[in-house]
């Protein structure tokens, strides 16, 4: 155990003994995610660096404070990448923040989420104990997969020290197409294409325009383009579009910055929202962003009626529940997990749900 980790463990043990809440933070780029954080800041960005990288094995292990940009640059040298396209939301983004927030980018619907690429993790829990789970190959993951549990936990279960991730080669070819379609027709078309052997790697609909990215072998991408038609975007234009979408720097998010931003997770076949506000649809219809001042109750009721749930992603009241309130059985499971990893309840308390 390094001196740095030993110092953190000692501080956590002291905080647990005194009941002092700790606010775990790295680069601060995901500070807005979840409920309002409180407590003494425990900055973990100093724990940085790539521990091991085996390009032929498609596995990388890095410390939690490793800048996400640095990690992606090393992977790019071997023409590999994090296929779930994690958003940075700032230059200070770290690997631990990426995992703790559990956010994925435009490629998530085709490649999987961050949790799907988790192979192993090392944490300091709320007792100040260093714990390791999983490994560096898929066959090492047996029993309850705690590594995936850490993804999206927002630091409520432990301080992330190291993460082992599966990485993938970059696609040989990519092409982006655009189509003029209204919302209902775009949803239908995305689901129709989703049931066909097409190399769709990302989609986005906004204000009557559906943008589709195709990725894979050159022959497959070329054949799909010929079959689908549409307007072909130039390479630089397409790259800028998907980067802007991934980092929420495109016009849609900028124009709606004054309103609360909701993230709705729905069945891809769900009908149009019919809610006040502006909308952007991703992931083949399964993720729908809504900039709206409508009451939270109305938005959540509509999401539930369509078979999904709604999260207050940015803005609005961060002191209330930003995630959909859990049913009693699920809430009990969350509380038991929190108690198992953080008995004193000092790690990012209330960041996910009140009392957790």
143-195 per-position pLDDT tens digit: 558 899 999 999 999 999 999 999 999 999 999 999 999 999 999 999 999 99
CB atoms within 10 A of CB 323: 16
What is residue 37's predicted lDDT score, i.e. its pLDDT?
A: 87
Can you give the pLDDT at residue 201?
98
205/187 Cα distance (integer angstroms): 9
Model pLDDT, residue 287: 98
Q: Which residue has the higher pLDDT, 203 or 1?
A: 203
- Both tokens assigned to 259: 């309103």
d(CA 101, CA 104) in angstroms, rounded, equals: 9
| Tokens representing residue 222 in the block | 């070329």
Q: Give the list of residues 6+ apart from residue 351 with CB closer than 8 angstroms, or none.
A: 34, 35, 37, 154, 155, 156
Q: Encoding tokens for residue 305?
A: 């009626």
* Cβ pair 229, 198 in contact under 8 A: no
Per the CB < 8 A criterion, the answer to whether 15 and 127 are in contact is no
Q: Could you read off the pLDDT of 235-273 as tens digits, one per residue?
A: 999 999 999 999 999 999 998 888 999 999 999 999 999
The torsion angles phi and psi of 54, rounded to 5 degrees, stand at: -120, 90
pLDDT tens, residue by residue, 87-130? 999 999 999 999 999 999 999 999 999 999 999 999 999 999 99
Between CA 130 and CA 122 the distance in angstroms is 7
Query: 179 is written with which tokens?
Result: 């189509």
**Distance, CA of 202 to CA of 176 (rounded, Å):** 9
Q: Is the pLDDT of residue 355 over 80?
A: yes
pLDDT value of residue 144 = 58
CB distance 179 to 230 below 8 Å: yes
Assess contact for 123 and 160: CB atoms under 8 A: yes
Q: Does the pLDDT of residue 142 top 80, yes or no?
A: no
Euclidean distance between CA atoms 303 and 295, whole angstroms:
13
Residue 205: predicted pLDDT: 98
Q: Is the pLDDT of residue 137 over 80?
A: no
What CA–CA distance (Å, rounded) separates 83 from 113? Answer: 9
Task: Name the least confident of 45-49, 94-98, 143-147, 307-311.
Answer: 143-147
Residue 347's contacts (CB-CB under 8 Å, 6 or more residues apart) are: 12, 22, 24, 126, 155, 156, 157, 158, 159, 341
Task: Kindly list the distances between the CA atom of residue 176 and the CA atoms of 211, 231, 233, 317, 322, in Å, as whole numbers in the listed order.
Answer: 7, 8, 6, 37, 34
pLDDT of residue 199: 98
Burial class of residue 141 (count of CB atoms within 10 Å of its CB; 0-12, 13-18, 19+): middle
Q: Determine the pLDDT at residue 136.
A: 64
What tokens does 32 get? Answer: 């807005």
User: What pLDDT shows up at residue 134?
Assistant: 86
Residues 164/60, Cβ–Cβ less than 8 Å: yes
Non-local CB neighbours of 143 within 8 Å, separated by 6+ positions: none
Query: What per-residue confidence (pLDDT) applies to 289?
Result: 98
- Taking the alpha carbons of 35, 38, 42, 43 in that order, is the dihedral positive or negative? positive
């Amino acid at each position: 155990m390094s001196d740095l980790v030993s110092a953190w463990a000692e501080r956590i043990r002291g905080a647990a003994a005194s009941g002092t809440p700790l606010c775990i933070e790295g680069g601060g780029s995901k500070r807005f995610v979840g409920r309002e954080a409180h407590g003494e800041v425990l900055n973990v960005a100093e724990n940085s660096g790539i521990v091991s990288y085996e390009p032929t094995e498609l596995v990388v292990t890095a410390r939690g404070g490793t800048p996400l940009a640095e990690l992606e640059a090393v992977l790019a040298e071997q023409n590999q990448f994090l296929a779930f396209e994690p958003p940075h939301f700032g230059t200070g983004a770290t690997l631990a923040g990426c995992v703790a927030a559990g956010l994925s980018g435009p490629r998530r619907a085709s490649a999987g989420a961050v949790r799907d690429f988790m192979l192993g993790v090392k944490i300091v829990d709320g007792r100040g104990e260093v714990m390791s789970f999983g490994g560096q190959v898929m066959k090492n993951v047996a029993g309850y997969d705690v590594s995936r549990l850490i993804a999206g936990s927002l630091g409520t279960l432990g301080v992330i020290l190291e993460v082992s991730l599966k990485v993938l080669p970059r696609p040989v070819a990519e092409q982006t197409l655009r189509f003029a379609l209204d919302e209902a027709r775009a949803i239908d078309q995305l689901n129709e294409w989703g049931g066909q052997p097409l190399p769709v790697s990302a989609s986005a609909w906004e204000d009557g325009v559906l943008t589709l990215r195709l990725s894979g072998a050159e022959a497959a991408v070329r054949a799909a383009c010929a079959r689908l038609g549409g307007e072909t975007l130039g390479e630089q234009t397409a790259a800028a579009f998907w980067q802007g979408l991934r980092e929420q720097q495109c016009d849609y998010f900028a124009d709606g910055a004054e309103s609360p931003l909701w993230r709705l997770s729905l069945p891809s076949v769900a009908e149009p929202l019919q809610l006040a506000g502006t909308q952007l649809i991703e992931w083949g219809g399964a993720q729908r962003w809504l900039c709206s001042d409508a009451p939270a109750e109305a938005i959540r009721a509509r999401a539930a009626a369509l078979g999904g749930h709604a999260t207050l992603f940015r803005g609005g009241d961060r002191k209330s529940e930003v995630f959909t309130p859990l049913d009693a059985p699920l809430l009990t499971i969350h509380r038991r997990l929190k108690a198992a990893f953080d008995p004193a309840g000092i790690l990012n308390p209330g960041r996910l749900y009140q009392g957790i």
